[in-house]
């Protein structure tokens, strides 16, 4: 299976792409559409309109590589209106390749109001933990 290293930059092209494009066509999209240098060693991911196919273009030391995947069921992207050209990490690419669209639905932590935060800070420094205020 294709899994890149953690320090490689990954760019997702935020519009549907004709999957008949190969090395030169995808190179042109990365260069002109994303305004990135495809020779930099970054990965460039392109998804078709139905979001059932993905191609990843990258340049290794000896030449161009295109990696492709087609889902038999499901989609890589659920809603094209929420997608834009963007950079993501390798974990995001791995999730995308598995057909999992990462979205943050809820905040992990809730910020306290300024006055409650200062009370909690004072109590925490005194050795006791302040309970969370009721919502």
Q: Quote the mean pLDDT of the chain.
A: 77
Residue 54 CA to its chain's centroid (Å): 14
Q: Which residues contact 1 (CB under 8 A, 6 or more apart)?
A: none
Residue with tokens 């050795």: 127
Beta strands in the chain (DSSP E): 10-12, 43-47, 53-60, 63-70, 86-88
Report which secondary-structure segment, H or E, holds 45: strand 43-47
Q: Which of 24-33, 74-83, 118-127 has the lowest mean pLDDT?
A: 118-127
Beta strand 86-88 with 10-12 is antiparallel
pLDDT in tens, 54-107: 999 999 888 999 999 998 888 887 777 777 788 888 888 888 888 776 665 545
Report the distance separating Cα 77 and Cα 79, nearest Å.
6
Does 45 have pLDDT greater than 90?
yes
């Amino acid at each position: 299976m294709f899994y890149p290293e953690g320090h490689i930059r990954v760019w997702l092209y935020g519009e549907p792409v004709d999957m008949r494009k190969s090395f030169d066509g995808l190179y042109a999209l990365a260069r002109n559409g994303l305004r990135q240098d495809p020779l930099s060693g970054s990965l460039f991911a392109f998804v078709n309109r139905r979001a059932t196919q993905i191609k990843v273009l990258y340049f290794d030391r000896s030449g161009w590589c295109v990696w492709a995947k087609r889902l038999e069921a499901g989609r890589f992207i659920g809603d094209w209106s929420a997608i834009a050209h963007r950079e993501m990490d390798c974990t995001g690419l791995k999730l995308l390749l598995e057909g999992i669209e990462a979205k943050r639905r809820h905040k992990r932590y809730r910020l306290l109001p300024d006055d409650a935060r200062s009370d909690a800070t004072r109590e925490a420094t005194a050795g006791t933990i302040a309970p969370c205020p009721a919502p």
